[in-house]
């Protein structure tokens, strides 16, 4: 009678999967292997790192093998796991929407600081309407959910209403699911549509937008992972700014006089967004803030107070709330 095959250890499975994923072209093969194995055995990555000698039984091993095969085919780890960590939360992810990225946390942190400033600049009369915040092109709802969650911790959520909109009904449904799952749907509304109406009243205090900003000609050269994400959430036209321009044109009729629009941009679009804002919004100010890597990442657009420069460009680190 043949001896049963030895039960593999965590370390052995991680090593084997790392080699396979590296051969498939994965950008972070060892990290991917550790995350996928952690999910298969019901722990986190720290548990994998702490117990390399642990044995992995048949059921978890089969689940891990299936996950590795999917990753070898290029499917993003976030889709395989079904979630992505963003701003301290697990945001549900699948092919209905773009995967939230760490660099977008700069937008959330900056928006939190602006909301705090608007709510505390002067005493708010009893019964005052909630401060309106728009999350345009909400996708998975990661920005909106992170905002409301953080505001609730600060006991400010009841003074704010976040309105999440998207052109994709599937993406908007995922945003709803994330809002319900994190217990913040009571401070959010959801609208299916293209960007914003031309005019709204009362106007928004803050407009957040992570719109498509990849140039169409660059899509084919992107990492294989991105081919699994919705093309319409990436394709920003010939120079990547087509959708952004349309939102800029809507700001005069939708942003409050003391409001701020925050637009995530590509790392090579800092100077271009300042030019576009100057052309479309004379008398306004556009400041481009850098992410932690020092790359242009976030355009802050608002009406410039009298005496301030119309436009500015900076590559310094963005403020943290």
Q: Within the chain, what is the greatest distance between any pair of CA atoms?
A: 89
SS3 112: helix
pLDDT in tens, the chain (321 residues): 556 668 899 999 999 999 999 999 998 999 999 999 999 999 999 999 999 999 999 999 999 999 999 999 999 999 999 999 999 999 999 999 999 999 999 999 999 999 999 999 877 777 788 999 999 999 999 999 999 999 999 999 999 999 999 999 999 999 999 999 999 999 999 999 999 999 999 999 999 999 999 999 999 988 888 999 999 999 999 999 999 999 999 999 999 999 999 999 999 999 999 999 999 999 999 999 999 999 999 999 999 875 555 445 444 444 433
| Distance of alpha carbon 214 from the chain centroid | 15
CA distances from 93 to 241, 265, 306 (A): 25, 22, 44
């Amino acid at each position: 009678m043949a001896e049963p095959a030895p039960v593999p250890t965590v370390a052995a499975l991680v090593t084997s999967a790392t080699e396979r994923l590296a051969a498939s072209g994965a950008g972070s093969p060892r990290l991917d292997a550790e995350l996928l194995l952690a999910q298969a055995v019901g722990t986190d990555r720290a548990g994998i790192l702490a117990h390399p000698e642990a044995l992995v039984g048949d059921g978890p091993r089969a689940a891990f093998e299936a996950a590795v095969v999917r990753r070898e085919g290029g499917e993003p780890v976030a889709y395989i796991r079904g979630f992505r960590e963003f701003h301290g939360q697990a945001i549900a992810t699948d092919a209905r929407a773009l995967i939230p990225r760490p660099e977008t946390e700069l937008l959330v942190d900056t928006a939190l600081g602006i909301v705090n400033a608007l709510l505390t600049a002067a005493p708010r009369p009893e019964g005052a309407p909630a401060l309106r915040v728009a999350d345009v092109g909400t996708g998975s709802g990661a920005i909106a959910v992170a905002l409301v969650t953080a505001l609730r911790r600060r006991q400010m959520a009841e003074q704010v209403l976040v309105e999440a909109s998207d052109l994709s009904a599937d993406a908007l449904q995922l945003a709803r699911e994330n809002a319900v799952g994190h217990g913040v749907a009571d401070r959010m509304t959801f609208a299916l549509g293209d960007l914003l109406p031309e005019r709204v009243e009362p106007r928004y205090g803050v407009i957040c937008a992570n719109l498509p900003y990849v140039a169409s000609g660059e899509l084919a050269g992107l990492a294989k992972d991105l081919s699994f994400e919705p093309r319409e959430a990436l394709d920003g036209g010939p120079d990547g700014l087509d959708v952004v321009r349309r939102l800029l044109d809507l700001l005069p009729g939708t942003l409050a006089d003391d409001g701020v629009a925050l637009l995530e941009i590509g790392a090579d679009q800092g100077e271009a967004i300042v030019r576009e804002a100057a052309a479309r919004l004379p008398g306004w100010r556009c400041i481009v803030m850098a992410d932690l890597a020092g790359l242009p990442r976030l355009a802050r657009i608002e009406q410039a107070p009298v005496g301030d420069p119309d436009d500015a460009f900076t590559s310094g680190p963005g403020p943290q709330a």
